[in-house]
């Protein structure tokens, strides 16, 4: 609540768009700035009033609360930091396994694995071997999503994506 009461409408819009992919960010930010927020219940009511009815049966404040949580806790920065540290922690052929529950998290994990599987950047036309590229990771398989049976028994798994990569033997520390 403290950040919401001190932030500008423009800052709130940026957070809601960047971290929650909220399409009604402008409406929500204006509504938040119109009154002082003191409780999460009050914030949920403000957001619900600012948004048109939702046909997906999700609470209208879900994306906004997610965006605020990710921003305040710096979750994406911490994820990037942890992924980078794994390259120094894993033993050769050790596995890096990431389960993400949100598209922003998954995008970070996917890019990290992909970029480190490509190795060092060289001009495209240079004849270099894979060893010279020094790939740090090898992607093990395609992303794995929960089966319908898993989703039926555990609805929270609906958005989960599991990615696996292996530290290569070419990774010289």
Helix (H) or strand (E) holding 97: strand 95-100
For the chain, how far is it from start to end, CA to CA, in angstroms?
Answer: 44
CATH top-level class of 75-167: alpha beta
- Assess if CATH 1.10.645.10 describes domain 2-73: no
Counting other chains too, the contacts that 25-34 makes at CB distance below 8 Å and 24 or more residues apart are 27/51, 28/64, 32/4, 33/8, 33/9
Q: Per residue of the chain (173 residues), give pLDDT as tens.
A: 789 999 999 999 999 999 999 999 999 999 999 999 999 999 999 999 999 877 777 889 999 999 999 999 999 999 999 999 999 999 999 999 999 999 999 999 999 999 999 876 666 666 666 566 678 899 999 999 999 999 999 999 999 999 999 998 755 54
Alpha-carbon distance of 51 to 67, in angstroms, equals 16
Contact present, 99 and 81 (Cβ < 8 Å): no
Contact present, 22 and 60 (Cβ < 8 Å): no
Nearest to 75 by CA among 49, 34, 46, 104: 104
Domain map (residue ranges) of the chain? 2-73, 75-167
Alpha-carbon distance of 53 to 33, in angstroms, equals 21
């Amino acid at each position: 609540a403290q950040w919401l009461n001190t932030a500008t409408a423009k800052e709130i819009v940026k957070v809601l768009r960047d971290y929650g992919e909220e399409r009604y960010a402008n409406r929500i930010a204006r509504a938040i700035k119109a009154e002082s927020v003191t409780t999460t219940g009050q914030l949920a009511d403000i957001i619900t009033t600012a948004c048109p009815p939702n046909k997906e049966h999700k609470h209208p404040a879900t994306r906004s609360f997610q965006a605020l949580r990710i921003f305040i806790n710096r979750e994406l920065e911490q994820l990037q930091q942890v992924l980078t540290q794994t390259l120094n922690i894993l033993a050769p052929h050790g596995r890096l396994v990431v389960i993400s529950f949100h598209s922003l998290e998954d995008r970070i994990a996917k890019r990290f694995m992909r970029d480190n599987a490509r190795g060092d950047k060289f001009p495209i036309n240079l004849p270099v071997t894979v060893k010279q590229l020094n790939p740090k990771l090898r992607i093990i398989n395609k992303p794995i999503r929960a089966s319908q049976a898993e989703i039926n028994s555990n609805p929270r798994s609906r958005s989960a994506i599991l990615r696996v990569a292996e530290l290569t033997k070419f990774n010289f520390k």
